[in-house]
Structure 1
Amino acid sequence: MAEVIERPATGIDSSFSWRKLEELAMDEFVDEELLSVQRLLFEGSTGRGQFSRLGWIGDVLAWAAAHTDVDPGQFVEIKQINGSSSSALIRLTTAAGAAVWFKAVADPEMTEYRMTAALRKLFPDYLPTFLAMHDVWHAWLMEDAGRPLDDMENARPRLFEEVAHHLADLQKASIPRASSLLDQGCADLRLSALCAQMPGIMASLEEAVEVPDYGSHSYLRKARIRALHRTFQDAADQLQASGVPDTLVHSDISTENILIADGTCIFTDWAQAAIGNPFANFEQLRMQVAQHQNAAVVQERLLAAYMRTWSSQLSAPQIRQAFTAIPPIAIAMYLSTRRDWLSPEKLREQQFVRYARSMARQMDRAVQEYEAREALTA
């Protein structure tokens, strides 16, 4: 169902077939769908959220216009990327080609909203520029910060060096703020927290491999899961001994959340801001880049730039020791942020069983990588 913002001069697209609500077959609605549609048509709102009412887009355009010194009618392109009754991501472009983004988050506790505002204030060089914030909608308006790295198929290796350098600089700048950021709502992904969570996570992986699934590919055995847990603990001890400080980490870091413009980069979408090991966060990014950029030169320059930036803070032996231990920690950080997907209730559903098994295989590969790096440095 769609709301027509402005009736076209030539009339509504003929591909639509218009019907009165009472003419529709009632069995086409499930659960509370009919009630929601009735409320929207006859009361103007479903009552489910700010963006589940008639006219909300007009309010957004008026608010955005008030903070960009343009008339609402000057937004000639309105592109909604995603949304729900209480969230939205919209790109607004003017006739002059200037673009701004409106983002509202479904965040009853206002954690993401508050954290995003705090991070923008603390680290303005690393986040998009904010133009306004809306406390009722849990929304903000921000300047366009460039293209996602994911969209740049033939990016030069030099660009990846800049990304690694910028990420390391942000992490280093956050070191004195780590404790206060935890107090403000950042998730705790420090080694102590990961080690406390891993017994439960690994127990879920053990349960997943025990579920019969005759159509699946090969999967790990229970004994191997237990061995992976022991090796993870060894890697955690080694990483702890390296002395690498905890920093701000982007728990959903990806080439989609890195925006490129004018030769530099901005990190966006901080819904899963956390405090944890910076090298593990970089390993997660390196794995993402490897999926799209297999050239050895890109991988080498990405790693070299990151290590070079940290060399002003850590010694070469510290950096080597940390990188040796990192692979299992990076996977553990990922699992920690998604541990609700590994609950006993979820593991009754086949797709989550398969997800858990794929995570077990990823941990297995990470442990093998850790063991290979240990052999090289022995």
Structure 2
Amino acid sequence: MAPRSHLFAALRHPTEPRIVLLRSDREWRLPHVRASEVRVADASAIVDVFERRLGTRAWLLRQIRFGEEEARSRVEGVFELELVDPGWTLPAHARWVGRPELDRLRLKDEEHRALLDEYLGALQRDEFPAERPPWARPGWREHVETWLETEVARLGHRIIRLHQIKQWSISSVLRIETDGPCLYLKSPARLPLFVEEATVTATLAELFPGYVPTPLAIEAREGWLLLPELREVMGWGAPLETRADMLRRFAGLQRRTAARTAELLAAGCLDRRLDVLETQIDPLLDDPEAVARVTPDDVADLRSRADDLKEACRQLAAVGLPDTLVHGDLHLGNVAREGGELVYFDWTDACIGHPFIDLLALQWERDEADRAALLEAYLDEWDGVTAPERLRVAAKLAGVVIPLHHAVSYWQIVASLEPAAKWELDATHTFLREALARVREL
């Protein structure tokens, strides 16, 4: 049974460095709700429970703290929110509290005192880390809403309400409720952390129509991407034939992109080709932060096998498949059916690299027969590029290179996040362990 989530809100005053505390008998605490399991970045669920608790509209800025408390068998999250209605009237049992007042109050959750003291001090000094993304800062909602009002009006509609869907350190996703169709906005992290997703998506839609949703608008300076609603997302439970179709069609797209890699790099795709990956292995394994959650014995083994990892990159390159577009996060949650065809979205991790990097999803298939059938469906689309036995050699080598590619990705992502947010995407160790297991099998 999943532990219950205890969620707390640090609701900011519109103009002063204060937050709301609620009185409980003679003690004070942050607005608090209990909820069923809440996932990291699930802005919709988080905003919903606090709007009902506070009786006003709120906007999630970021997660201040989130994690499982094993000793208390619960998950606790503390979230920074701002008011949508600055004229909101405080309930009788609430007050605005700044850092000076905090010391004089008895807290129901005394373990929050140090956290609140640090947070309110930063508010008072108007201080925040340079790595904090724009959507996690006050004022961004008004900024993006102004642009959206113009673009939605251009489409012949008006906005009824903005709904937050996802909010974390690498992106913000909004659903725009209009007097017509629902639309979606994505504001992702950008170069050098991720691709210029708005520009890349627009370029892909132009070069390869039918494979990618066509943006309704982009704001290249801000990196904003406005998309139509994708009504039929495939999702994780799709049948085997759909999963095979997803891989077949994507391999066909990759083959078409092989002649356009220069254009895609110019549009903002990252360069993750095998010769680049090879140069990243030593810096990755030498970074104490990157290997902090790997056992000392495994770290030593990884470092001793660094040359084997590089050789796997060289051997995979020697098979002779062309560099192509790589999605970087290819799975059924990022695939929809539009007009009878599968389309691919969420191009945040798009890069130019070895095409077989996108076979990561096969590693999640539990049934060996299904995994073999899906690999066959993908490899069939590469028929004629090289001999079938060479394709199978490439697939085996890719088993080492795929987790290595993703270890580098997460290493670079985590290094770019503000200190308090690094835990959100701390998966480098998972992929390093997988790369080690695979290279041991060679």
Same fold (TM over 0.5): yes
From 209, 213, 220, the counterpart of 2:298: 220
Distance in structure 2 (CA, Å) of the matches to 1:363 and 1:103 = 32
Within 5 Å, give how 1:96-111 maps onto structure 2: 98-107=181-190, 111=196
Amino acid at match of 1:241: A
Distance in structure 2 (CA, Å) of the matches to 1:82 and 1:206 = 27
Quote the sequence identity (%): 22
Q: Which residue is 1:44 aligned to? A: none
Decide whether aligned partners of structure 1 residues 250 and 100 sit closer, same or farther in structure 2, where only a CA change above 3 A counts: same
Whichever structure has more strand as a proportion of its residues is 2
Query: 1:134 aligned to 2:211?
Result: no
Deviation for aligned residue 1:229:
2.0
C-alpha contact 1:132 1:140 (8 A) present in aligned 2: yes
Q: How big is each residue's C-alpha offset from its partner over 1:35-91, in whole Å with a ceiling of 9 and x where there is no partner?
A: 669xxxxxxxxxx67973274565355234314322324x6xx43123479963111
From 88, 92, 113, the counterpart of 2:176: 92
Decide whether aligned partners of structure 1 residues 94 and 342 sit closer, same or farther in structure 2, where only a CA change above 3 A counts: closer
SS of structure 2 residue aligned to 1:220: helix
Q: How big is each residue's C-alpha offset from its partner over 1:129-181, in whole Å with a ceiling of 9 and x where there is no partner?
A: 211123454312111224544x442x211100111012101211110111332
Decide whether aligned partners of structure 1 residues 107 and 71 sit closer, same or farther in structure 2, where only a CA change above 3 A counts: same
Q: Which residue is 2:409 aligned to? A: 337
SS of structure 1 residue aligned to 2:184: strand
**What's the TM-score, normalizing by structure 2?**
0.63
Deviation for aligned residue 1:95:
6.3
Distance in structure 2 (CA, Å) of the matches to 1:235 and 1:322 = 10
From 150, 153, 162, the counterpart of 1:66: 153
Q: Which residue is 1:376 aligned to? A: none
Query: 1:125 aligned to 2:230?
Result: no
Within 5 Å, give how 1:155-170 maps onto structure 2: 155-170=238-253
From 120, 135, 151, the counterpart of 1:30: 120
Amino acid at match of 1:104: S
Amino acid at match of 2:284: I
Q: Which runs of 5+ in 1 are unaligned?
A: 38-47, 372-378
Query: 1:286 aligned to 2:373?
Result: no
Query: 1:202 aligned to 2:278?
Result: no
Distance in structure 1 (CA, Å) of the matches to 2:414 and 2:236 = 34
Deviation for aligned residue 1:321:
2.4
CA RMSD of aligned residues (A): 4.2
Distance in structure 1 (CA, Å) of the matches to 2:281 and 2:206 = 34
Q: Which residue is 1:191 aligned to? A: 274
C-alpha contact 2:198 2:219 (8 A) present in aligned 1: no
Distance in structure 2 (CA, Å) of the matches to 1:79 and 1:296 = 41
Distance in structure 1 (CA, Å) of the matches to 2:145 and 2:413 = 37
Q: Which residue is 1:247 aligned to? A: 324
Query: 1:144 aligned to 2:229?
Result: yes
SS of structure 1 residue aligned to 2:226: strand
Decide whether aligned partners of structure 1 residues 140 and 221 sit closer, same or farther in structure 2, where only a CA change above 3 A counts: closer
C-alpha contact 2:98 2:120 (8 A) present in aligned 1: no
Q: Which residue is 1:303 aligned to? A: 375
From 349, 369, 372, the counterpart of 1:272: 349
Distance in structure 1 (CA, Å) of the matches to 2:265 and 2:232 = 30
Deviation for aligned residue 1:357:
4.6
Deviation for aligned residue 1:243:
0.6
C-alpha contact 1:134 1:140 (8 A) present in aligned 2: yes
SS of structure 1 residue aligned to 2:287: helix
Deviation for aligned residue 1:322:
1.1
Q: Which residue is 1:325 aligned to? A: 397
Q: Whose relative contact order is higher, 1 or 2, with alpha carbons under 8 Å and at least 6 apart? A: 1
Distance in structure 2 (CA, Å) of the matches to 1:22 and 1:122 = 54
Distance in structure 2 (CA, Å) of the matches to 1:318 and 1:285 = 21
SS of structure 2 residue aligned to 1:115: helix
SS of structure 2 residue aligned to 1:89: strand
Q: Which runs of 5+ in 2 are unaligned?
A: 1-10, 12-57, 59-81, 104-115, 128-133
Deviation for aligned residue 1:311:
1.0
Whichever structure has more helix as a proportion of its residues is 1
Q: Which residue is 1:79 aligned to? A: 163
